[in-house]
A and B are shown apart, each in its own frame.
Chain A
Amino acid sequence: MELSAILLQVLNGLDKGSAYALIALGLTLIFGTLGVVNFAHGALFMIGAFCSVTLQRLLSISTVTLDETKTDFLGNPAKITTPYVETWFGPEVGSAIIDWSVPLAILFAIPIMLFIGFAMERGLIKHFYKRPHADQILVTFGLAIVLQEVIKYFFGANQIPAPAPDAFIGSFDFGELIGMGAGTLMYPYWRIVYFLFALIIIAAVFCFLQFTTFGMVVRAGMADRETVGLLGINIDKRFTIMFGIAAAVAGLAGVMYTPINPPNYTIGMDFLVISFVVVVVGGMGSLGGAVLAGFILGILESFASMRQVIELIPGINQVVIYLAAIVILLARPRGLLGRKGVMES
């Protein structure tokens, strides 16, 4: 097996791991602060992805004129659409805005995701704080299905393409960069963007928790909610904000993922199960563990998909994540960076 093939799968693993880590990070934030196991977290990723699609559609709202020289599929005069943004800003600027709809959707998604996070926590989740985890799982799973069906109602069941800006089409030549020879290790630009974006978000969340007073209070609340409350700090309010932030992290992960795979209403559920495995492997409540496990499992999954590996152990690509989870949990029952006393009676 060539070195370039191995490095390629490492890059793939880091890229997959980025999505896992971002979702698992949000899950852990919610679990660590509110003690809630949020099965609707995948749906938040999916809503984020559909923020991209929605913005793309909003930017594409057009005036319709009939072109008598062309016909549509029924032989009637063809409808020619001109997006309003092109009318307002001129064809070049207008089409560039539409082309950049996915990155622009970050700005569009942040307030929406924060609002959805607050609404979810205040409207539903807060009523389940004192209920057993099984109740929390059931209600959040139910919510996830409702959100899926709402999206399906408006957007249909098929996938909807939301491509990356033209500037990011193509691949970066890592082979040339590291002296392995041109063309030996090419990797798509947008996937590199996704990985860097994930690193920035992860760093931002850690800095926020580590270096701000708000973050310090939240961390204190995660460690001992009761004592923080006794000090006269309204920890509930801060936890609600953390829920909103966790929703925004999942949403942004979804927004930026749309050029990698066109989204449909099931995209969140596809990630949810793996993300829970990531959280458990990382250690319940451990933010660092979630990120670490996300990348490790992403890389493992990529290696297990290699033809040479499948030929050696047939079917390994289907089970590797769960197999790794079993091995890690047997060796470290609290997960990679799990602390004592979390999720333990």
Chain B
Amino acid sequence: MSIEKNLDKLQLSRRTVLKAGAAGMAAGAAPMIIPSTAHAHMNEPTGSSVTLGFNVPQSGPYADEGADELRAYELAVEHLNGGGDGGMMGTFSSKALQGDGILGRKVEYVTGDTQTKPDAARASARSMIEKDGAVMITGGSSSGVAVAVQALCQEAGIIFMAGLTHSNDTTGKDKKANGFRHFFNSYMSGAALAPILAANYGTDRTAYHLTADYNWGYTTEEAVRTSTEAIGWKTAAAVKTPLSQTDFSSYIAPVQASGADVLVLNHYGANMVNSLTSAVQFGLRNAQANGKNFEIVVPLYSRLMAKGAGENVKGIFGSTNWHWSLSDEGSKAFVKSFGTKYGFPPSQAAHTCYVQTLLYADACQRAGSHNPCAVAEALEGFEFDGLGNGPTLYRAEDHQCFKDVLVVKGKENPDNEFDLLEIVEVTPAAQVTYDASIFGGDLGTCNAG
């Protein structure tokens, strides 16, 4: 009896000790966001629904692009839950998605406002993870935001499916095991543009770069510079312009006398609209230099924002991730769903966000789990087609998608208000593929929370 009693006591005390130890370990290792210890991973869905977090700029200068991202997310959720015409789910090469949500759970969503500020974006992502139980965060319209939110998701044990982010760093030096990018990057823009520029403007050219003074501007300038110098172009100068600059006249005016015959505008959003408007005002599009026609290049085009530059975009080369006028089955299906629902064609930001949501859902379905490590494994090395960019690979080494890149040109005679860009060349993925190690960084290991 007494021995049994003692054993009971011992077992009790052992259990207590183990519990206390486990609690102590949990407390000691607690990350800034505290996961529920009862679950296998952070925010593991338990009920009949699963919540996704859409973190897009709802205020600030990129709010229109954010609104378009949100439209795409709402459409994706509708299609995942079996509503609408299914959009690109019908053309997607993977057939794991059944239109019954993700892993049988209805897809619900919460939204956050990034304000295109890294701090605000982190705060809204954190709130969606902690308060709303979002199992995945996606969206955004800037690389600064993408890098900040990606790091937060890594720390929290949540998958991050980046929205529009074009800097090499997102899947380069700042890459994370929990982060994935479908959108293309500066390197790819440079690699796709250079041959087209050589074919159209020749190899004996001198470029003058105006570069937005922040991370994306630097990587884009470097990419375009490297790729154009490789085809024989020279670089006359590269001038950094403040992000807050509105009137670019004092930067544009000296360009013509600099000996350059091409102006490269490494600008996005309002910067791009204003600098391009100034360049055209100062007559650069019709000017002559070194015995040739002066040319302007905009490495990253956004149709939504190009609209602000009006007729000034005509004839100007740039690159884009996707365009609604593509004629593949996936693009057609997406434009039809989106256009029917909203009355206008989707932007490239909307496209990448829609695709990222489908890719995440499909990876969960194939992995049979929402566990970030299982989802990451399902996405790594995943080859797919039918989502508007042709055959695509989610490279395992840096979580970057490799697919065809579009070189576009401002259309001379648009048929309608959306018809601003025409596709000049679909650059094959092989031509824009690079070694995963060239941008440094370390993926680390996946974190399930």
How many residues in A have their beta carbons less than 8 Å from beta carbons of B? 47
Contact of B250 among A152, A264, A306 (CB under 8 A): A306
Give me the interface of B with A, judged by CB distance under 8 Å: 60-65, 213, 237, 239-242, 244, 246-247, 249-251, 253-254, 256-258, 270, 273-274, 277-278, 281-283, 304-305, 307-312, 324-325, 335-336, 339-340, 344-345, 415-416, 418-419
The verdict on A190 contacting chain B, using a C-beta distance below 8 Å, is yes
* A318 adjacent to B242 (CB under 8 Å): yes
Establish whether residues B254 and A5, one from each chain, have CB atoms under 8 Å apart when the complex forms.
Answer: yes
Interface residues of A (CB under 8 A from B): 2, 4-5, 8-9, 11-13, 15-16, 19, 70, 72-74, 78, 152, 156-161, 163, 170-171, 186, 188, 190-191, 260-262, 264, 266-267, 270-271, 301-303, 305-307, 310, 317-318
Contact status B309-A73, CB under 8 Å: no
- Which partner residue on chain B sits nearest A260 by CB separation? B247
A-B CB contact pairs (8 Å), 17 listed: A5-B254, A12-B249, A16-B247, A16-B249, A74-B339, A74-B340, A161-B307, A161-B308, A161-B309, A188-B281, A190-B281, A260-B247, A261-B247, A262-B309, A262-B310, A266-B61, A270-B246
Q: Is the CB of B257 within 8 A of A4?
A: yes
Known contacts A73-B335, A73-B416; A186/B251 CB under 8 A: no
| Chain A nearest Cβ from B40, distance in angstroms | 41
CA distance A15 to B282 in the complex (A): 13
Chain A residue contacts of B63, Cβ below 8 A:
152, 156-157
Residues of A within 8 A of B273 (CB): 159, 261-262
Residues of B within 8 A of A70 (CB): 415
A315 to chain B, nearest CB (A): 9
Q: Are A74 and B308 in touch, CB under 8 angstroms? A: no
Q: Shortest distance in angstroms between B213's beta carbon and chain A's nearest beta carbon? A: 8
B254 and A261 within 8 A (CB): no
Knowing A73-B345, A310-B240, the reply to whether A261 touches B257 (Cβ < 8 A) is no
Q: How far is the CA of A238 from the CA of B256 in the complex (A)?
A: 50
The tally of CB-CB contacts under 8 A between chains A and B is: 123
Given known contacts A15-B247, A161-B309, A302-B250, what 13 new A-B pairs fall within 8 Å (CB)? A73-B418, A74-B339, A74-B340, A78-B416, A156-B64, A157-B60, A157-B64, A159-B308, A161-B310, A261-B278, A266-B61, A270-B246, A306-B254
Question: Bound state CA distance, A190 and B249, in angstroms?
Answer: 12
A225 to chain B, nearest CB (A): 37
CB distance from A64 to the nearest CB of B (A): 12
Q: Provide the bound-state CA to CA distance between A171 and B280, in Å.
A: 10
Neighbouring B residues of A152 by C-beta, 8 Å:
63
Report the separation of the CA atoms of residues A302 and B245 in the bound assembly, to the nearest whole angstrom.
Answer: 12
A74 vs B340: C-alpha distance in the bound complex, in angstroms?
Answer: 8
The complex places the Cα of A44 from the Cα of B266 at a distance, in Å, of 31
* Contact, CB under 8 Å: A262 / B250: no
Closest residue to A4 on the B side, CB-wise? B257
Distance, CA A299 to CA B242, complexed state (A): 17
Nearest chain B CB to A117's CB is how many angstroms away? 24
Interface centre among A16, A171, A261 (most CB of B within 10 A): A261
Give the shortest distance, in Å, between B252 (CB) and chain A (any CB).
9
Q: A152-B63, A310-B239 are in contact. Are A2 and B257 (CB under 8 A)?
A: yes
Q: Please provide the 6 A-B residue pairs with the shortest distance between their CB atoms, ordered closest to farther.
A: A159-B308, A161-B310, A305-B250, A157-B63, A302-B250, A188-B281
Measured CB to CB, the nearest residue on chain A to B58 is A157
Q: Which residues of B contact A15 (CB under 8 A)?
A: 247, 249
Question: Are B274 and A261 interface neighbours, CB within 8 A?
Answer: yes
Q: Which of A12, A156, A310 has the most CB of B within 10 A?
A: A12
- Chain B residues whose CB sits within 8 angstroms of the CB of A5 once the complex forms: 254, 257
State the CA gap A306–B239 with chains docked (Å): 9
Tell me whether A72 and B416 are in contact in the complex, defined as CB-CB below 8 angstroms, given that A156-B64, A171-B282 are known contacts: yes
Q: Is B415 a contact of A78 with CB atoms below 8 Å?
A: yes
